Amino acid sequence: MILFQALNLSKHFDGRVIFENISFEIKGGDILFVSGKNGSGKTTLLRILSGFIKPDMGDVKINGKSIFSEYKHHVVFVGHKPGIYKDLTTYENLYLWGKLWGKILTKSDVIKLLGIFSIERYIDKSVGKLSQGTQKKIALTKIFIAEPSIIILDEPFSNLDDQGQSTLKEYMENFVRYGRILIFSSPIECGIPFSLQVKLDSVEHL
């Protein structure tokens, strides 16, 4: 079973304390909810948990090994901004993402993936011409391609319509049923049952 640990994480910017001494441990099947107001450091914490930036102190470990070494490939992170190439088409974006994970996606593959959010009609559209909500759905489609052990989502429900939120909630709840780990942030609770909550200055087990 996969084990994910945050060990005494601290981060400062320009002399300001973002958070200090955050520690928790979750295992396969767990959902971690990171809550806090906008600007409270949720994104910074999630980027550390994903291995994209290092803390000033502490470490993040997967099965006892630091995420900042060999274990980063177990994690997919989708930020609150889409993080996609707006001058490329939807297909081109997801094709490139697939290559990063060693997968060559045909148009038929991508049409099937986009169908999860009912946006397959945008496969040949330039992403920059699409709405923010559609761009968010395209970005979230990355998680269906990678099939990782751990997914980390930063405010995943922002800019999503009701149908998109319902689809994502169902996926998130099903994801952990196979012994995987889900971490997500939101300024408010959004109906996802979670086993652990980090409020940046406290940790609460449920």
Residues 95-124: pLDDT tens digits?
Answer: 999 998 889 999 999 999 999 999 999 999
Please compute the mean of the pLDDT values over residues 182-187 and round it to a whole number.
92
pLDDT score for 73: 67
SS (H, E, C) the chain: CCEEEEEEEEEEECCEEEEEEEEEEEECCCEEEEECCCCCCHHHHHHHHCCCCCCCEEEEEECCEECCCCCHHHEEEECCCCCCCCCCEHHHHHHHHHHHCCCCCCHHHHHHHHHHHCCHHHCCCEHHHCCHHHHHHHHHCHHHHHCCCEEEEECCCCCCCHHHHHHHHHHHHHHHHHCCEEEEEECCCCCCCCCEEECCCCEEEC
pLDDT score for 37: 80
pLDDT band at 174 (very low <50, low <70, confident <90, very high): very high
49 vs 201, higher pLDDT: 49
Per cent of the chain over pLDDT 90 is: 69
pLDDT band at 178 (very low <50, low <70, confident <90, very high): confident
pLDDT score for 101: 86
Query: Cβ contacts of residue 77 below 8 Å, gap of 6+?
Result: 46, 47, 50, 52, 152, 153, 154
Tell whether the torsion through CA atoms of 38, 43, 49 and 50 is positive or negative.
positive
Is the pLDDT at 76 greater than 80? The verdict is yes
pLDDT score for 206: 44
Nearest to 4, CA basis, from 146, 151, 206 = 151
Nearest to 82, CA basis, from 130, 33, 50 = 130
pLDDT score for 82: 79
Please compute the mean of the pLDDT values over residues 44-73 and round it to a whole number.
89
Domain 3-205 has CATH 3.40.50.300: yes
pLDDT score for 201: 57
pLDDT band at 173 (very low <50, low <70, confident <90, very high): very high
Asked whether the beta carbons of 50 and 75 are under 8 A apart, the reply is yes
pLDDT score for 72: 59
Look at phi and psi of residue 82 and say left if phi exceeds 0, alpha if psi is from -120 to 50, else beta.
Answer: alpha
Model confidence over 12-50: pLDDT tens digits? 988 888 889 999 999 999 999 999 887 788 999 999 999
Average pLDDT taken over every residue of the chain: 90
pLDDT score for 30: 96
